[in-house]
Amino acid sequence: MSQKNYERIWQTVLAIPAGRVATYGQIADLAGLPGRARLVGKALGYAPTNMAVPWFRVLRSDGKIAFPPGSEHAVKQIGRLQEENVAILKHRVHLKTFQWQPDLSELMFKLRY
């Protein structure tokens, strides 16, 4: 287990502000792991609950919820997003409106890159 990569991913996701969302690929890039979007999903699955990583703010490249419609995970995710006023329509978030546009220098500082 490459705990190191997971940590970077968790830290990056922790930087997503409430009310905004990011895609798996975007997180991979920001975490310095280009081309490893799938690793992001895996890392979120292993995220320690005590660390409160906002996994629900991460979506597919087209804005869709990654879990199957109606599944327990999907329902919870949609609920969490709606609590922060992120609109969901047809299992999808309009990225043009809600996608996080990180301040790169600030992020670099936080992640120590």
Show the site string, 36-55: x = touches DNA by CB under 7 A, - = not.
xxxxxxx-xx-x-------x
Judged by CB under 7 A, which of 20, 60, 80, 110 binds DNA?
60
Q: How far apart are CA 6 and CA 39, in angstroms?
A: 8
Residues 4-23 that bind DNA (CB under 7 A): 5-6, 23
Can you tell me whether residue 99 is helix, strand or coil?
strand
Q: Are 13 and 37 in contact (CB under 8 A)?
A: no
Q: By rule CB under 7 A, what count of residues binds DNA?
A: 30
| Tokens, residue 21 | 């969302």
Q: How far apart are CA 103 and CA 101, in angstroms?
A: 7
| Binding positions for DNA, rule: CB under 7 A | 1-2, 5-6, 23-26, 35-42, 44-45, 47, 55-56, 58, 60-62, 66-67, 73, 90, 92
